[in-house]
Amino acid sequence: MSDQPYIVSARKYRPATFSSVVGQRNLAETLRNAVSTGRVAQAYLFCGPRGVGKTSCARIFAKALNCTNPTTDGEACGECASCRAVDLGNSFNLLELDAASNNSVNDIRDIMDQVNVPPQDGRYRVFIIDEVHMLSTQAFNAFLKTLEEPPKNVVFILATTEKHKILPTILSRCQVYDFKRITVDDIVEHLKYVASREGISADERALGVIAQKADGAMRDALSIFDQVAASCMGNITYDGTIANLNVLDHECYFGLTEAFGAGDVAAALLIYNGVRDKGFDSLFFLNGLASHIRNLMVAADPRTIGLLEVSRSLAQRYVAQASSFPAQWYYRTLDILNECEVNYRMAANKQLAVELALMKTSMLRQNSESVAETPVPPSSTTPTPTPPRPSAPASVARPAVSAQPVVPSSRPRTPRAATPRLSAPGLTTIRLSGEDKKDKKEEGDRNVDDSHPDNGNPLTKDVPVSDERLAEAWQQFIASHPEQKIVITTMRTTMPSRSGDGEYSLSVANAGQKAQFDAIMPELLEFIRSRIGNRNFTLRVGLQEVDSSHRRLTQREFLTKVVTDNPVLSELLTYLDASFV
C-alpha cells in the first residue's frame, strides 16, 4: 500500500488549465481570450447542471487573472507565487463563498467589507459565490449596488445550477455563460485518459455505461469510475460494471426488440422474467425499454442520429437494428409503454400489466402484416362481367338485394322488372325508377344490405335489441369518444330505459347536457345501430322532471316544517305564546 494518501479522481484530475476543461471548449476559449486581451468584466454568472465544470472554470479564470507570467494564449503559468497560492488554496486574492450555507444579509455584508481591500500581489481580487441562487432576497438586494459598481480591481464570479431563481436585476449586471451537459463521447475519452494514468485496464463498453450513468456530469463519472475500479480490482470489464452499478444490460433490450420483431411473445416474457429475477423493479424496466425504443426511433432517421446520447459503438448497433421496423411501429410501441407506465401504479397485478404491454408490442408486427395482406375488394367503378340475370316476370315481386325478407308496402303498385347493372364480383345492384325509389323510401329501406364495416352485423329491424348488447355498445361509445366529456360523463352513470320496441329514452339533469346529446345524436345512433345490428333503434333524450317535494324551501317554510315535524317544539311555542314572524 502506498504511503501517500488516496485522492479521489474527481479532485485529482480536476482541470487546472483552460485546455484541460472537458466538454466546454467554446466557453473556455472565450474566458482565455478575455484574459489575454485584458477585456475583463466586473461580474460573471456561470450556469449549468452539476459537475460540468462551473467552479473549476471559475478557479482557472481567477488564477489566470493574477498570474504574473501568463502564456501568450491567456493560460496561467502554474509556477509563479500567485498560481501556487491558488492551487494550495491559501491565496488572499481569491475568496470563495458557499451561498448554500452562507445566504444571509450579514454574509453578503462581510464580502462587501472585503471588497474595498486592494489585492496584495496581483491585479484583481476575485470573489467566487457558489450556488448563488440560495441567497435570500434581502441578501440579493444588499448585493445589487456593489455588484453594479464594484472597485476596478474586483471581479465577481457567480455559479448556479438554477438560473431561473436568479433575480433579473442580478442577471442584467453579469456576463452569463451557460455550461452544457458533457457528451457521452467526451466523458468516455476523459475516462480513458484517467484509466491510462492510473494503470487501469478498462473496456470501452464499460466506460460507455459509466458515462451514461453520469448523465452529463464529469464529476459523477469520475466518482462512478472510482467505484467500479475498486470493485473490479483495476480491471474494469463490461460485465463487472453492469453488476456493480446494478443497471440493465443493453443486450437485454436489444434481445427484447428482436423478440418484438419476430412476434415471439414467449421470448419477450422470458426476458422480462429474467429481469425480475435479478431484482430490478418493473417500472425501472419499463422506463429503460421506452428509452431504448426512443433511441431506435431517432437512429432510424439519419437526421436525428445526433440525438443519441450513447457511445459510438452502441450508436452503430442502434442504427443497425432500427432499420428492421417501420416508423409507425415506434409510435405505437411508445404509446403502449406510456399507457402501461401511467396505469402501473394503480394496477393490482403489476407483473400482469407489464406482461400485457409486452404481448401487445410483440403482436404489432404480426397485426400490421395481416392488415397489409388483406385483399381489398375491387371498386364498383371497374366492373367485372357476370352472367346477366333474367328479368323478373310481371307477376313476381321486385327482387331485393338484401338477404332479409322484403315486407311489401300497403300501398298497391304495379310491379315492374328490374334491370341488372354490373358491379363488384358476386353482387348485382338494381337500378330503380323514380317510383321505385319513392316506394323504397316508404318501406324504410328494409331491403338494403347496410352491413357495418366494423362488425359485419346487418342492420335490420328483425334483430331484437337486447339490454346486454346495448350496454356493450354503450360502453364502446364511451371508450372511443373521450373528447365528448359531458356526454360520456352522463353515459357512465346513466343507461337508457326501454320505452317500446327498439325505442329507448334517457333523462338528463339539465338543458346543457341535453344540448350536447342533441348535437352528437346522429353519430351516437349510427354507432349503436351498427353494434347491435338494428337500424330502427331510436333514443330520445329528455329533461328529468323536478319533484316538487324536493324543492328548496324558503326560510319561513323550513321553520314551519320543523315545528310541524316536532310536536315538542310546537307545544313549547304554544306555552311561550310565541310564533315565527
CA distance 27 to 177: 7
Burial of 291 (0-12, 13-18, 19+ CB in 10 A): middle
Q: What is the pLDDT of residue 380?
A: 41
CA distance 317 to 100: 44
Q: What is the pLDDT of residue 144?
A: 87
Burial of 71 (0-12, 13-18, 19+ CB in 10 A): middle
Q: Give the H/E segment covering residue 269.
A: helix 265-277
Contacts of 558 (CB under 8 A, 6+ apart): none
CA distance 180 to 155: 23
User: Among positive and negative, which fits the CA dihedral 456, 458, 464, 467?
Assistant: positive
Domains of the chain (ranges plus CATH)?
Answer: 9-178 (3.40.50.300), 184-245 (1.10.8.60), 250-371 (1.20.272.10), 467-543 (3.30.300.180), 553-581 (no CATH)
pLDDT in tens, the chain (581 residues): 456 678 888 888 888 888 889 988 899 999 999 988 889 999 999 999 988 999 999 999 999 998 888 888 888 888 888 888 888 888 888 888 888 888 888 888 888 888 888 887 778 999 999 999 998 888 888 888 888 888 888 999 999 999 999 988 889 889 999 999 998 889 999 999 999 998 898 888 889 889 888 888 999 999 999 999 888 888 888 888 888 887 888 889 999 999 999 989 999 999 999 999 888 889 989 999 999 999 999 999 888 888 888 878 888 889 999 888 888 899 999 999 999 998 888 888 999 999 999 999 998 877 655 544 444 444 444 444 444 444 444 433 444 433 344 444 444 444 444 444 433 333 333 344 444 444 444 444 444 344 444 444 444 445 677 888 888 888 888 888 888 878 888 888 888 888 877 788 888 878 878 888 888 888 888 888 888 888 888 888 888 765 555 556 677 667 777 777 777 777 777 777 776 55
Q: What is the pLDDT of residue 221?
A: 92
Q: What is the pLDDT of residue 279?
A: 85
Taking residue 449's Cβ as centre, other Cβ atoms within 10 Å add up to: 13
Q: What is the pLDDT of residue 354?
A: 93
| Cβ-contact 470, 504 below 8 angstroms | yes
What is 555-572 written as a DSSP string? HHHHHHHHHHH-HHHHHH
CA distance 482 to 489: 9
CA distance 76 to 62: 9
